[in-house]
Amino acid sequence: MSVEPGVVDANILVYAVNSAAPQHTASRALLEAALDPAVSLDVTSQILCEFYSLITNRKRVPMAWSSAEAVHLISELLASPGIKVLPTPVQAITGLLELLERSSVTGSDVFDLQIVATMQANNIWRIYTFNASDFEIFPERTVCTPR
């Protein structure tokens, strides 16, 4: 599988561990590609927290994982040679404020803007997600749905 560098959204991580999800195969293949050190995929600390929150919440997934299991999954993910955690530089906060001024985002949608601001601050313009509409504010982006 040919994989361009980019950020992996939390929903990809959730689908990769949920074998009953229709998106499981594509999500798993994307993450397995990161076993190759030549592949460059990123996550943010926020995305890891969202992933943890989702998979340990019985209201969000059919079979919630225990805290210990979730920590183990995140550790395994971070052990992949092609996965790294993006830093959140100070300019990401300025970028977030600029994005908030340009948009009408309210409530929990601010978290997707924070991902966008972090990506922009790190000069990354691609995100892998199954929730493309969450990133419409990011006009320069390339939103990729794994296949």
Domain ranges of the chain: 6-85, 90-123+133-139
pLDDT for res 82: 95
Q: H or E segment at 82?
A: none
Q: How large is the average pLDDT for residues 25-36? A: 94
Kindly report, residue by residue over 66-119, the tens digit of the pLDDT. 999 999 999 999 999 999 999 999 999 999 999 999 888 899 889 999 999 999
90: which 2 tokens? Answer: 């100070």
Q: Provide the pLDDT for residue 1.
A: 63
Give the per-residue pLDDT at 134. 82
Structure confidence at residue 42 (pLDDT): 97
Report the side by side order of strands in the sheet with 6-8: 83-85, 41-43, 6-8, 126-128, 142-144
CA angle 80, 86, 88 (to 5 degrees): 155
pLDDT band at 147 (very low <50, low <70, confident <90, very high): confident
Q: Which of 64, 30, 25 is nearest to 144 (CA)?
A: 30
* Per-residue pLDDT tens digits for 42-78: 999 999 999 999 999 999 988 899 999 999 999 999 9
pLDDT value at residue 135: 81
pLDDT at site 146 = 79
* Helix residue ranges, H only, the chain: 10-17, 24-33, 45-55, 67-78, 90-102, 110-121
What's the confidence (pLDDT) of residue 119? 94
Look at residue 138 and tell me whether its pLDDT is greater than 70.
Answer: no
